[in-house]
Amino acid sequence: MHKIQIKTSRRSETVDITPLLKAYLKDVKAGPGLLTVYCPHTTAGIAVNENADPDVQTDMVSFLNRLIPQGGTRDAGFRHAEGNSDAHIKSTLVNPSQTFIVEDGQLQLGQWQGVLFMEFDGPRSREIWLKFVTA
Amino acid sequence: MHKIQIKTSRRSETVDITPLLKAYLKDVKAGPGLLTVYCPHTTAGIAVNENADPDVQTDMVSFLNRLIPQGGTRDAGFRHAEGNSDAHIKSTLVNPSQTFIVEDGQLQLGQWQGVLFMEFDGPRSREIWLKFVTA
Amino acid sequence: MHKIQIKTSRRSETVDITPLLKAYLKDVKAGPGLLTVYCPHTTAGIAVNENADPDVQTDMVSFLNRLIPQGGTRDAGFRHAEGNSDAHIKSTLVNPSQTFIVEDGQLQLGQWQGVLFMEFDGPRSREIWLKFVTA
């Protein structure tokens, strides 16, 4: 298992980690197989989405913040005393990991896709864990 | 990696791709392992849900359209100029891929489960990428 | 493929299945690889989140129940006659499975992470399917 360190700079943001994944696959001389990208934190997640127009990621983050406000909804608050229940819920809805297809050592992504670390309770130092399994 | 082509016919819909996955596993004479089903598009996703009563899938699509309207919510619109930010967000919440267990070449699904391509910005020609890894 | 049986006791709840996964990996003397944890039901899912403060899981379940009420939203109901469309939608948003990294037979989880079976239409007897693939 390989560990990547990143630093986030805001409470909610997306970090494009695609270049880090490509560099890892090159380093280990990966052939065909599957790459699992895993977030060991409970207030962040891994997503795949467009990394061409930055407005897409801005819209995603803004929408999630309106859907799941930090202080809870008008009808009901949260019980967890740390004040970050919203971030835990966002983590589960986005998902803590993604698994990718690898061919000839190349990460297989669609034309507009990038792999995004989604921070919901930053800024923090974060880890991402990678594991490649040969087909 | 194997590529499947499908065509969707509406802006939002579900397409049952279970038979296509079973046919692929038969073609490659798969043994035991994992099958990753990957959507290379940023405005669609892969889900697993009931394919007995079609009302379940209708309810899912309708609910997602009410939760994430194309034009944004009453409080706030979207910035992305293509007018499909809702579809990008739905893609991330549903997930772009799913990984399945395979035994003796058979896709392991629960009694009521089917694998669904979820289109959020159609109609379009779409691809689904498959990769089988032996246990 | 290994099958685990559990019983849930309420309509909506989380069950920490982490010890069951660790026991399985020990039994099969797993080395390095990937473990897929799969829910064969269409009204439940597998999540990864904090299992230190139980309020986090309570907040997650409560929020999902407010976001996706059993009877539908004020604007629109559900068509599916069994009255559990909410549970099907929650299952898709949470995800029916998760894939984990395994090293030296040890499930690799972050410090605060546990693996949760999320029941959305209980109480019921449920199965969880496990498959380990060596790297």
Nearest-angstrom CA–CA distance, A106 and A68: 36
pLDDT greater than 90 at residue C76: no
* Closest in B34, B93, B113 to C133, CB measured: B34
* Closest in C38, C73, C129 to B66, CB measured: C73
Query: Which residues, including other chains, have CB under 8 Å from residue C102's CB and lie 6 or more apart?
Result: C25, C30, C31, C32, C33, C34, C35, C108, C132
Using a CB-CB cut-off of 8 Å, the residues of chain C touching B100 are 36, 38, 97
Interface test with B, best of A101, A113, A120, A131 (most B CBs within 10 A): A101
Neighbours of chain A (3+ CB pairs under 8 A): B, C
The verdict on a CB contact (< 8 Å) between A108 and B38 is yes
| CB interface of A with B, residues 24-53, below 8 Å | 32-34, 47-50, 53
Distance from C21 to chain B by nearest Cα, in Å? 16
The helix/strand/coil state of A98 is strand
pLDDT greater than 80 at residue A133: yes
Would you state the pLDDT for residue B74? 72
Please indicate whether residue B130 or residue B71 has the higher confidence score (pLDDT): B130
Would you state the pLDDT for residue B77? 87
Whole-model pTM?
Answer: 0.97
Nearest-angstrom CA–CA distance, A7 and A12: 12
CA B132 vs CA A50, A112, C88: distances in Å: 26, 24, 27
The string of pLDDT tens digits covering residues A14-54 is 999 999 999 999 999 999 999 999 999 999 999 999 999 99
Distance from C36 to chain B by nearest Cα, in Å? 8
* Closest in C48, C108, C133 to A1, CB measured: C108
The string of pLDDT tens digits covering residues A73-101 is 777 789 998 999 999 999 999 999 999 99
ipTM: 0.96
Nearest-angstrom CA–CA distance, A42 and B26: 39
Residue A99 amino acid letter: T
pLDDT greater than 90 at residue A2: yes
